[in-house]
Structure 1
Amino acid sequence: MNAIFKFFFDISGWKIEGNVPTHLSKAAFVVCPHNTWKDFFVGLGLRAKMGMNIGYIGKAELFKPPFGFIFRWLGGTPAYRTSSNNMVDSYVAAIKSKDEMLFALAPEGTRKNVDKLRSGFYFMANGAQIPIVRVGFDLKRKVVVIGEPFIPSGDFEADMQKYFVNFFDKIQGPQKDWIKNYKAGKF
């Protein structure tokens, strides 16, 4: 399947800009913007093009029958977003228990414009002390921009300003309200 996804990534005109961090055995790949169902296929093509075994976290509703098995087969893990489920702690424990764990997620949590990002990805990476890799889907240029990995400092607001706002503000695409709010200090 990777050959097929790589082929479609290439013929659809997408390119990669930045260094692919193939040296990492554990990392959270944080992808923005997430504004269309097509992003999923760009991500599968990117993963195949990079030649890395990167799983992904998606909303639990995607994994229900009749097609849920396909999302699992493609490397997905459902996220159960309930107040009684401490997803961050369970992911931190899972990451620490493995020798290798690369996973991607969209911190917007939806394909709609959002006022702020969900912060779970940050606290998973911080708790497990693994790097975060920023991945921007520049829709207008058909370029996937890969940022240099960084280890979270534990100061969410400072890291958002330092690593996320400037990086994703340069990505051409919709859904920038969260960037405006972070620039204005609204966390």
Structure 2
Amino acid sequence: MTAQHTMIPAHLQGDFPTRGNAFSRWIGRVGLRVLGGWRIEGELPRTRQAIIPVAPHTSNWDFFIGVFVMLALGLKLSYLGKHTIFRFPVNDLLRWLGGIPVDRRSAQGVVGEMVEQFKLRSELVLALSPEGTRKKVTEWKKGFLHIAKTTGVPVIPIALDFSRKVLEITPALLITGDIDTELERVKAAVAHAQGKNPQHA
């Protein structure tokens, strides 16, 4: 049993949520080769719920790499989207792709909404960009850490390293302390990775 597995709370331990079939996994592998031969390093812990911050985010290409990795590994991931875009005719497609509509005007806010989602769903893996934009930022968003601390869900930082063409799955973190201190732990886990446009990192 790996260290990653033993640190996952007992009530969350289980097979990582999956989707797709042999064909979709093949599409993912082909896509990664077409984009320059990207490789995946590391392993996902056995958990049915997680938050996955992916960094650095400096290019639109990050999205396509993420999609092909998701297909290649057969992962069932979710992402947040503004509630107003979940309308006909794209509503069903966005939800099928893992979209979760959020209303930033709601009384409980995005953090509160996602805490409820993790309570309601036995399987939920939320992928996000902690920078919130492709442009250079001085501060990362901290909402995902508040969600993780409140729910006890592990955070699995993923480093997107264009210098090596590697998507690295780093060890899971449990968020229990001061949010600013925990944010530094997440940043440190992906600090070695170089984005496609390093000047934006």
Which digits, 9 at most, give the CA deviation of each residue in 1:71-120, with x for residues without a partner?
Answer: 33322224444485511111101101221111101111111111111111
The answer for unaligned runs of 5 or more in structure 1 is 177-187
Matches within 5 A, 1:24-43: 24-43=47-66
Work out which of the residue numbers 174, 185, 191 in structure 2 matches 1:151.
174
Cα separation, 2, equivalents of 1:143 and 1:14: 6
The size of the alignment, in residue pairs, is 174
2:114 to 71, 82, 91: 91
> Which of 151, 170, 183 is matched with 1:128 structurally?
151
- Are 1:77 and 2:68 matched, yes or no? no
Secondary structure, counterpart of 2:125 in structure 1: strand
Aligned-partner Cα distance in 2 for 1:87–1:26:
18
2:188 is the counterpart of 1:166: yes
Q: 1:37 to 1:80 in 2, by over 3 A?
A: farther
Residues 5-16 of structure 1: matches in 2 within 5 Å?
A: 5-12=28-35, 13-16=37-40
Gaps of 5+ in 2: 1-19
Structure 2 counterpart of 1:168, which letter? V
The runs of 4+ residues in structure 1 deviating greater than 6 Å are none
Alpha-carbon separation, structure 1, partners of 2:106 and 2:114: 15
* Structure-2 separation of matches of 1:18 and 1:62: 34
2:76 to 43, 53, 57: 53
1:151 to 1:36, Cα distance in 2 relative to 1, 3 A: same
Quote the sequence identity (%).
Answer: 32
CA RMSD of aligned residues (A): 2.3
Cα contact 1:80–1:87 (8 A) shared by 2: yes
Q: Decide which moves more: 71-80 or 49-58.
A: 71-80
More displaced, 79-88 or 33-42? 79-88
Contact 1:59 1:80 in 2 (8 A): yes
